[in-house]
Amino acid sequence: MKKQNKGLINAIKQRFFNRFLPIWAVLLFDITSVFLLFYFTVLLLHNFGDVEFDKIKILFWALLASTVYLISFLIFKPYSGILRHTEIKDTIKIFMATTCSFIILLIIVAINDFLLKSPDWILQLSIIIIHYVTTLSFLTTSRLLIKIIHYYFLIKESEIKCNTLIFGAGSSGLIALKALQQNKKNQFKVVAFLDDNKEKVGKKFQDIPILFPREALNEKYIKKHKIEQVIIAIEKLSLTRKQKFIDKALLLGLQIKIVPPIENWINNELTATQLHEIKIEDLLGRDQIKLNNEIIAQEIENSVVMVTGAAGSIGSEIARQIVGYNPAKVILLDQAESPLYELQLDLQNKKKYKLVSDRIVCVVANIKDKTRMEALFCLYKPQLIYHAAAYKHVPLMENYPYEALKVNVFGTKTLVDLSLKYNVKKFIMISTDKAVNPTSVMGASKRIAEIYAQSRNNETTRFITTRFGNVLGSNGSVIPIFKKQIASGGPVTITHKDITRFFMTIPEACNLVLEAGTMGKDNEIFIFDMGSPVRIYDLAEKMIRLSGLEPNKDIQIIETGLRPGEKLYEELLTETEKENMLPTYHPKIMRAKTQKHDINAISNLFLELHEALVSCDETRIVAKMKEIVSEYISNNSSFCSLDK
């Protein structure tokens, strides 16, 4: 019997509560209500029939009042909302429509009284007033009643699967609550709001208490209320506060979700499905960087810009940002055809790039090919070059020094020489922190490229070097590797328990590259504020917890030993550069004055380096690299013997 009743209730829910009334039905309901309430008002004033009244006259006035209300409804559209989701803005529309109708009826009565003076058809002012009040009250109350019935009949009785806390009792928190309440599957029950504002704590919203985070983020409260999830719903939460809050929630085994930025909402409305799980990138980034967009725009607007390595993580983001500054033409160059094709499709298909899509040229080419590069320079005559093309994988390049030298050094040399020949205004080279006191072939090759570019700086062409650490989500980054290892059940492998790295988001790094490109003048290296270094072991632990698992219990973390050429700690500046450190107008960008390299001495060294390259003798190649970069000392590599 209980099963039959439950089945009947579910059938009623499915039939009536999971469907929406069309707007014409709501409008018909409203107008019918206006008409009937008019008769109710007349009956009320005539003691429900004890006092006689002219039914024909009242019918006329009821039809006239209904017509006036209909016109107001069509103007203000109070019927357009979903009844079960009635909000303040819907009740305001009802108020505007009924008040407008009331005023129009008053005007009609006034015209009749003072101009037409037709006593047989004079409508009592009391009828208009009472009808207005009852109509406004009824239409508003009926909608709220439908909302309450829907909530208690459909939502309250449904199965609650996940007890939730919302961090933030402001507007975003209330919007998140609404999104959860309107979720069709109704998987969530909000137990409490959390907020740091003491003026809010102790109060309630929709009978939900507001607490300090410390009151709820403890084992006793979590177990008592069976909390499984917390939602961060504060728009301008500092990264430090967010990190502390998330660390505490992770230790308590809670699932963490975050309200996305308003620009990512669908049709400007938030739904439960849009609440996304916190990502490790959200914890390693920094507070939003403010750029001087006017200066960047002056630099790029109406200029011909070339981006090398455009299909890579850094190059593609630089390309996306550049097209937003209205360049005359953008040449996107890379040897990887498939990623370059994907970038081309992305730039062509997105609306925000439509205006400049015809100015974007994707070129499949290799910077090692001098003949091909010269043909491109001659054809397009670039004014700005952002050089991101390079081999970047440390252990791999340790096995292939020839390739590292051919691309990172001589590929860069080709571009530098052509930039001088074709009067490029600025050449912005994207380097790496691994070029500082290098311990690997890759790092040394990037340092040699820096030296060559700096040696060729002149009044016509400015060569600017930007240097930063690891970027989150880049090809070969440790984070996607950890994600795959966790997804497959582990273990998560790290090379050393004490290894640390600097991290920066790709958009942030590229923002700073564009800004630094506007500053460069003479023999300067621009270093970005990378924040505090991150211990990779701690990163692995945090990522495992974000997956809802326990480190070294559900997923093991294993040390595999340092790879060839790998450092324990990365640096952003040499000792000499630290001594010559200077600030810029941007707080996140510093500049270091470097020594002026003698072009003749550098040219002779490069001739010798090229001879070593032609010999294909790896030992000879690396030995010559060590001669050029005296601070290059190999680590955990077969080339360590060259340092003795």
> Do the domain assignments include residue 285?
no
> Do the domain assignments include residue 286?
no
Chosen domain end from 126, 155, 184? 155
How far, CA to CA in Å, does 469 sit from each of 67, 434, 500, 502, 588? Answer: 71, 8, 11, 5, 14
pLDDT at site 607? 92
The count of domains in the chain is 3
Q: Does residue 434 carry a catalytic annotation?
A: yes
Residue 413 backbone phi and psi in degrees, to 5: -60, -45
Helices 239-251 and 536-546, axial angle in degrees (round to 10): 60
Query: Secondary structure of 251-272 in the HEC alphabet?
Result: HCCCEEEECCCHHHCECCECCH
> Do the domain assignments include residue 577?
yes
DSSP 551: B
> Do the domain assignments include residue 247?
yes
CA distance 99 to 623: 89
Q: Are residues 377 and 497 in the same domain?
A: yes
CA distance 238 to 288: 10
> Do the domain assignments include residue 548?
yes
What CATH number did the domain enclosing 178 receive? 3.40.50.720
- Do residues 333 and 361 lie in contact, with contact meaning Cβ atoms separated by under 8 Å? no
CA distance 128 to 427: 78
Catalytic residue among 434, 446, 624, 626: 434
pLDDT at site 600? 84
Mode of pairing for the β-strands spanning 276-277 and 255-258 = antiparallel
Chosen domain end from 125, 155, 185? 155
- Which residues, at least 6 apart from 169, have a Cβ–Cβ distance to it below 8 Å? 193, 194, 195, 197, 200, 205, 210
**247-263, pLDDT tens digit by residue?**
888 888 888 888 776 55
Q: How many CA atoms lie within 13 A of 59 on its CB side?
A: 3
Q: Are residues 341 and 254 in the same domain?
A: no
DSSP 428: E
Chosen domain end from 128, 155, 182? 155
> Do the domain assignments include residue 283?
no
Angle at 584 between CA 582 and CA 587, to 5 degrees: 110
> Do the domain assignments include residue 644?
no
Q: Tell me the two tokens of residue 284.
A: 């390693």
Q: Are residues 240 and 257 in the same domain?
A: yes
Q: What residues make up the domain containing 208?
A: 162-278
Q: Are residues 142 and 167 in the same domain?
A: no
Identify which of 565, 504, 505, 494 has the alpha carbon closest to the alpha carbon of residue 535: 494
Q: Are residues 177 and 100 in the same domain?
A: no
Q: Are residues 175 and 237 in the same domain?
A: yes
CA distance 275 to 179: 9
pLDDT at site 16? 45
pLDDT at site 2? 46
Residue 407 backbone phi and psi in degrees, to 5: -85, -60
pLDDT at site 552? 87
Q: Are residues 125 and 263 in the same domain?
A: no
Q: Consecutive sets of 10 residues in the chain, 644 residues long: mean pLDDT of each? A: 50 50 78 85 68 69 85 82 68 86 84 63 75 86 76 54 83 80 70 87 83 89 88 80 85 83 56 69 62 79 93 90 89 93 85 75 94 95 94 91 94 95 92 89 93 86 84 72 86 88 78 79 72 83 84 89 80 60 71 75 89 92 92 89 82
**61-94, pLDDT tens digit by residue?**
888 888 888 888 888 887 776 666 666 777 888 8
Q: Are residues 168 and 145 in the same domain?
A: no
Q: Are residues 449 and 586 in the same domain?
A: yes
Q: Are residues 166 and 131 in the same domain?
A: no
CA distance 192 to 164: 7
Single-letter code of the amino acid located at 49: G
Q: Which helix (H) or strand (E) holds 204?
A: strand 204-205
Q: Are residues 428 and 519 in the same domain?
A: yes
211 - beta bridge partners? 194
> Do the domain assignments include residue 325?
yes
How far, CA to CA in Å, does 322 sit from each of 288, 318, 353, 359, 515? Answer: 19, 6, 10, 12, 11
Helices 125-150 and 23-45, axial angle in degrees (round to 10): 130
Q: Are residues 107 and 224 in the same domain?
A: no
pLDDT at site 185? 60
Q: Tell me the two tokens of residue 148.
A: 């309450």
